[in-house]
Amino acid sequence: MPVYTDNAGPLAGTGSKPFAFSVSQRAINQNIKTAYAETWNFGIEQSVFNNAIFSISYAGSRGIHEYDIANVNLGGAGGNYLGDARFANRLNLQYGSMNYRSDAGFNRYNALLLGFKTINVAKTGVSINANYQWSHALDNLSSTFTDGIPANYGTGYLDAFNPKLGYGNADYDVRHRFVTSVSWEIPWMKNADNKLERYALGGWAMSGIFKASSGMPFSIYDGDGFNGSVYPLYAPGTGHSIPTTGSATNAGGGFFNYITIPLDPSANPYGVTDAHGNPATNVPYGAGNALGLPNCTGLYHVGCTYTADGSKYPDRNQFKGPGFWNADMQFMKNFKFSEKLGVQFRAELYNIFNHHNQYIYAYGLDVSGMTAGANAIQSEKGGSGGVPGGPNDEHRNVDLGVKITF
């Protein structure tokens, strides 16, 4: 629709008439269903010896009719669904993006948990609580607004008309997790008759907690000329084998080369074109067959074929980031002056080993701009560029405190 720059509007004659861009829309499913979750679990505990218990349990859940937002009017959809020869056209040319809010999200979760805890081992004052968890979380959309992922991932599903296409590892899927805590209330000299021995050598205690987990999943995608909306596209291949995990090597500046991908940004090594028919650089959209991968030529992913085992391509979140570990410690000294009056000095050391974990640099996962592959970034250099869960800093922190009881 033209907008006239003259105050007289169309009565002014044939003046300049700049084009007004199509407006975007927001719409809500008038029959939206209420989201809900189902959970189930069972477990067994067994005393294995004095003051020690071993446990094994299973936990499961599924989310149904989870709320979502999907763009049902992406550029290129007209070519796929309506046969429109103009590649970039939308389903409805009168509007831009249409953010449709509905209830097509779903997830599933299964976990096996092993636990061991014991108190005052052999009367030494040592207590241990150790837990291991294997779990698998899958979904087709991890967040309604995709707010945990960098903005250039876009919002919504791989295909707004086929929400199940994006079913894969959830953004928050952590396959292995181990946590153990140990406390030691040193019993010796605690009740010594000699006051000097009791105050200097008695009343000491310490505790610590250690956490370790496998890495979080991520996708490698192609955003070259994609109207501001990009999707996970690149999966581990057969023709050019790409590992799903890596071994980070220092690249300087807090960055680490994590997964190497066969790219050549200076040429078109695979002899293919991108989604717009232009000579491809790096790994282009639709290069499936040339790379020995299942072919995926449709801009809207409706043209994706299936592999021999029936799995979908592209595979969302098939790559795993670096693992995580951290250790905290506490040291305490208790003074008991009377039945009612006591003083405790304590030192708390967070990240006692000053260990800096690595996190996938999520803003560098677009193959249209890659030069080597997927990179990881060290936390002390700014984890804000990492996947969800990446902290800004992981330096050692020490807190000192005094507590008086009366």
Percentage of the chain exceeding pLDDT 70: 63
Q: Give the 3-state secondary structure of residue 67.
A: strand
Place of tokens 């020869």: 85
Mean pLDDT of 129-158: 77
Hey, what amino acid is at 124? Answer: T
Is residue 286 within 8 Å of residue 271, measured between CB atoms? no
Note the pTM of the prediction, 2 decimals.
0.75
**Residues 66 and 121 sit within 8 Å (Cβ to Cβ):** no
- Give 353-378 pLDDT, tens digit per residue: 998 888 888 777 766 666 667 788 88
Residue 194's pLDDT is 74
Residue 226 has pLDDT above 50, yes or no: no
Q: Yes or no: say if 332 and 344 are a contact pair by the CB < 8 Å rule.
A: yes
> Please, which pLDDT band fits residue 102 given cuts at 50, 70 and 90?
very high
What CA–CA distance (Å, rounded) separates 378 from 275?
34
Q: Which residues sit opposite 132 in a β-bridge? A: 114, 178
Are 210 and 351 spatial neighbours (Cβ–Cβ below 8 Å)? no
Mean pLDDT, range 100-121, rounded to an integer? 94
Amino acid code (one letter) for 305: T
**Residue scoring higher pLDDT (279 or 51):** 51
The pLDDT, as a whole number, for residue 14 is 58
User: pLDDT: is 166 or 296 the higher one?
Assistant: 166
Mean pLDDT of the residues in the chain: 74
DSSP state of 285: T
Report the C-alpha gap between 49 and 128 in whole angstroms.
Answer: 14
Q: What separation in angstroms does the CA of 164 have from each of 62, 153, 205?
A: 15, 18, 53
Return the DSSP state at 144: T
User: Rounded to an integer, what distance in angstroms lies between the CA atom of residue 354 and that of residue 329?
Assistant: 12
pLDDT-derived band at 127, boundaries 50, 70, 90: very high
Q: What is the pLDDT of residue 294?
A: 36
Q: What is the DSSP string of 219-253?
A: -EEE-TTSTT--EEEE--BTTTB--SS---EEEET
Please name which of 270, 238, 406 lies closest in space to residue 335, comparing C-alpha atoms: 406
Q: Is the per-residue pLDDT at 400 higher than 90?
A: yes
Specify the pLDDT at position 84. Answer: 61
Provide DSSP, 163-188.
Answer: GGGG-EE-TT---EEEEEEEEEE--T
Q: Is 327 exposed, middle or buried (0-12, 13-18, 19+ CB in 10 A)?
A: middle
Question: Is residue 271's pLDDT more than 50?
Answer: no
Give the pLDDT confidence of 152-180 residue by residue, as tens digits.
Answer: 455 577 677 778 877 888 988 999 999 99
The pLDDT, as a whole number, for residue 204 is 87
Judged by average pLDDT, the poorest of 208-217, 301-310, 380-389, 394-403 is 301-310
One-letter amino acid of 242: I
Comparison of pLDDT for 195 and 93, the residue scoring more? 93
Q: How far apart are CA 160 and CA 140, in angstroms?
A: 11
Q: Per DSSP, what are the bridge partners of residue 231? A: 222
Q: Could you tell me which of 205, 213, 207 has the C-alpha nearest to residue 181?
A: 207
Q: Can the peptide bond before residue 314 be classed as cis, meaning omega within 30 degrees of 0?
A: yes
3-state secondary structure of 201: helix
